[in-house]
Structure 1
Amino acid sequence: MRKRFIATAAVAALVAYFSLWPVDIAPTGWTPAALAESTAATRGSLSAIERLGLQEGTGPEGISLDASGRIYAGFLDGRVVRFSPDGRHVELLAQTQGRPWGTFASADGRSILVADAVKGLLKIEAGHIATLATQAQGVPFKLTDDVVQGASGKIYFSDASSKFGIDKMMSDVFEHGANGRLMQYDPVSKGVSVLMSGLHVANGVALGPDERYVLVSETLSYRVWRYWLKGEKAGQKEVFIDNLPGFPDNISFNGRDGFWLALYAPRDPLLDALLPYPALLKAAYRIPQVIQPKAKKVAHVLKLDLNGVVQADLQDDRPEAYAPITSVREFNGTLYFGSIEYPSVGQMRLPRNLSEHPHTREATP
């Protein structure tokens, strides 16, 4: 009888904990669209990815390349490094003392912009680190994510969350709060303008042809937005692609006919089922993080044309896959990959049927 009483009391305590214990999130609840079948014209494998700079550092999350094909990346320990094109040589450029995520190298490699999740928007030149911005409109950055610079000199970058920092990244997943922003930094005035706010984790950023628009991934809404910078639609936004099969991460323009989008992980049916119910999200959030379900590791990238239509779907779901992929860039017929967790940069020759240069008509503003 005593054992039964103790067991009942323990269950009651657990129920009370998962139902009533205060948490620092305020879930809004939303219902994602049912996952659609892939309509990609080309499907392929990422099993041929080679590892460059293996064990030089962990988590080269957002990579970039200069005109010579040298590779730039930031590691978990705060280092920003430059790899030779073959990955055999690595050079330390700076130590941010934060967590460098997105990088953007100038054509000659003399200047590297860094979206540091902890330190904000940074610029590295000759080993010197300059802080360009740490807040916008009086609201500090909490999770500076990705960055790109156009020929105009203007810099576009994202702050994944203005509420939760790097130590509480999962909080935004459960809250689905509108805490992300897309911003522009003007190197002349040194001012920051907020182009879009209210994003559910603002992630990868890419400029379109002729800087007519900028794209930003909205990770927790499974979509990518287009914000027009020029033309009749200047200042307006529209969905570029929606209802993605995974969590969109960094995105990059290939310089001619489209974009490459990294998907961090596939959508989780259980999470999708919980999303409409704030009370259940709170209960799930109270589960200790060490035993919370983990995202499935699948290497996955999409090739999108200039209108956001999926042209290619490349995946690798093997246990030994290079995953998760958080950034992908195309350079001279080769794809390069970054990962927030993997201890190397990835490299793979572009499949022949994707290396042709088809003409793609683009929507105009």
Structure 2
Amino acid sequence: MALFIFLLLSTFPDSIFSTATNIAITSPTQSITLTSFEKLPLPSTATSPESLAFNLLGEGPYTGVSDGRILKYIRLTKSFVDFAYTSPNRTRAFCDGTTSLDKSPTCGLPLGLDFDYFTGQLYCCDPFVGLTRVGAFGGLATTLVPTKDGVPYRFLIAVTKTSDGPVYFTDASAVYGPKDADKSIQTGDSTARLLKYDPRTKNVTVLLSQLAGAVGLATDSDASFLLVSEFIAKRILRYWLKGEKAGTSEIFLTFPGGPNKIKRNQEGNYWVAVNAPKNDSTVAPQGVKFSPSGEILAMVDLSKEYNSRITIVIEYNNKIYVGGRNFPFVGQYDIKYV
């Protein structure tokens, strides 16, 4: 899994935490059976579908890969095609198929994706390019918040767009970059931030700082709060955007392993990818489904098909899709509620 970096701007406020009771994982209230599994292969030697998204029409999944491309899955042909790219310096000859982070400053590295369903635009976090936006027809992304010229972010990794305008994103560390992901975990790094971009003023505001590996982000259906996963701290925070608690945060869920990206499904509940530790120093990848109130609805074991960390689980039309670093495919499971 890739992890993060950033430089603090002295005018940004510190984190504001409210007192809250930990909501720990309890027994699931739903039972889900995985009825089949299919690999949706990436083109050529592309790997690492770390984030997944569907557009308003249900097309996709869309995913960013290690060589800087954003791909779109076409169901009719059962294949991924090029959709967009984040770096203006990217060339096919230099970048296509690469898995080298040494090339990422030129090729780009799209790690977080989320659609604005009102406009059809796709928002993307790229640690080497910045916060970007792609039009409905793809192509070169527009850079909204660059990684240089006054806003030198190191590892932008998660993004969510709300219907009322703001874009929220995370910068996952002030110390470690993509090449040093393991070091950030080993040292317990806690220099990540939650940020807000206002498209009208083009201003960026820090909402929370001193986070431990903020790699996942989602909002509720009416944008009253944000959920932020802290991979290193093994928990999800809830940050209130509206109401009497606005501007405060609280611990929402805790996990035995690191939670990664969070995605809301069509019914308004959430899925998060969790990598639970095993006794033999490996991980047991799981998909955990939970409600907006923090009730654990279902847990699915994905270790049969995945033997290392996953980054995302997303549910769409009675299927769940799974992505992760170094995998050359997106996993697709048919599911049945029993």
Contact 1:62-1:102 within 8 A present in 2 as well: yes
Task: Pick from 37, 41, 45 the counterpart of residue 49 of structure 1.
Answer: 37
1:173 offset after TM fit, Å? 0.7
Instruction: Report 1:328-347 matches (<5 A).
Output: 328-347=313-332
1:110 offset after TM fit, Å? 4.7
Instruction: Report 1:248-267 matches (<5 A).
Output: 248-263=259-274, 265-267=275-277
Instruction: Report 1:73-88 matches (<5 A).
Output: 73-85=63-75, 88=78
1:214 aligns with 2:214: no
Letter in 2 for 1:63: L
Match of 2:204 in 1: 192
**For 1:182-229, what per-residue CA distance to the aligned partner results, in whole angstroms no more than 9, with x for missing partners?**
111111111111111100111110011200101110110110000010
Instruction: Report 1:151-300 matches (<5 A).
Output: 151-242=163-254, 244-263=255-274, 265-267=275-277, 296-300=282-286
Contact 2:35-2:334 within 8 A present in 1 as well: no
Match of 2:80 in 1: 90
1:65 offset after TM fit, Å? 0.4
Match of 1:351 in 2: 336
Letter in 1 for 2:209: S
**SS of corresponding position for 1:104:** strand
Contact 1:47-1:316 within 8 A present in 2 as well: no
1:327 aligns with 2:312: yes
Contact 1:47-1:321 within 8 A present in 2 as well: no
**For 1:45-82, what per-residue CA distance to the aligned partner results, in whole angstroms no more than 9, with x for missing partners?**
65733211355521110110002222211001111111
1:111 offset after TM fit, Å? 2.1
Letter in 2 for 1:80: I
Residue segments in structure 1 that go unaligned for 5+ positions in a row: 1-35, 271-294, 354-365
Using structure 1 for the length normalisation, give the TM-score. 0.73
Greater alpha carbon shift after TM alignment, 321-330 vs 61-70:
321-330
Residue segments in structure 2 that go unaligned for 5+ positions in a row: 1-23, 87-106
Contact 2:282-2:308 within 8 A present in 1 as well: no
**For 1:242-267, what per-residue CA distance to the aligned partner results, in whole angstroms no more than 9, with x for missing partners?**
2x02210000112434211111x223
Contact 1:259-1:304 within 8 A present in 2 as well: yes
- In 2, the alpha carbon distance for the partners of 1:230 and 1:192 equals 19
Letter in 2 for 1:308: G
Q: Flag the 1:94–1:304 CA change in 2: closer, same or farther, 3 A.
A: same
1:352 offset after TM fit, Å? 2.0
How many correspondences in the alignment? Answer: 291
Please say which structure displays the higher CA radius of gyration. 1
1:87 offset after TM fit, Å? 6.8
Q: Flag the 1:46–1:58 CA change in 2: closer, same or farther, 3 A.
A: farther
Identical-pair percentage = 31
Contact 1:323-1:342 within 8 A present in 2 as well: no
Match of 1:39 in 2: 27
**For 1:320-348, what per-residue CA distance to the aligned partner results, in whole angstroms no more than 9, with x for missing partners?**
43753211222222222222221111222
- In 2, the alpha carbon distance for the partners of 1:37 and 1:213 equals 20
Match of 2:6 in 1: none
Using structure 2 for the length normalisation, give the TM-score. 0.78
- In 2, the alpha carbon distance for the partners of 1:37 and 1:127 equals 42
**For 1:118-151, what per-residue CA distance to the aligned partner results, in whole angstroms no more than 9, with x for missing partners?**
2221112341222111369x66321111111011
- In 2, the alpha carbon distance for the partners of 1:108 and 1:190 equals 19
1:130 aligns with 2:115: no
Q: Flag the 1:87–1:103 CA change in 2: closer, same or farther, 3 A.
A: farther
Contact 1:322-1:346 within 8 A present in 2 as well: no
- In 1, the alpha carbon distance for the partners of 2:309 and 2:31 equals 19
**For 1:6-40, what per-residue CA distance to the aligned partner results, in whole angstroms no more than 9, with x for missing partners?**
xxxxxxxxxxxxxxxxxxxxxxxxxxxxxx88522
Match of 2:95 in 1: none
**SS of corresponding position for 1:167:** helix
- In 1, the alpha carbon distance for the partners of 2:33 and 2:189 equals 34
Q: Flag the 1:47–1:134 CA change in 2: closer, same or farther, 3 A.
A: farther
RMSD, aligned CA: 2.6
Contact 1:300-1:315 within 8 A present in 2 as well: yes
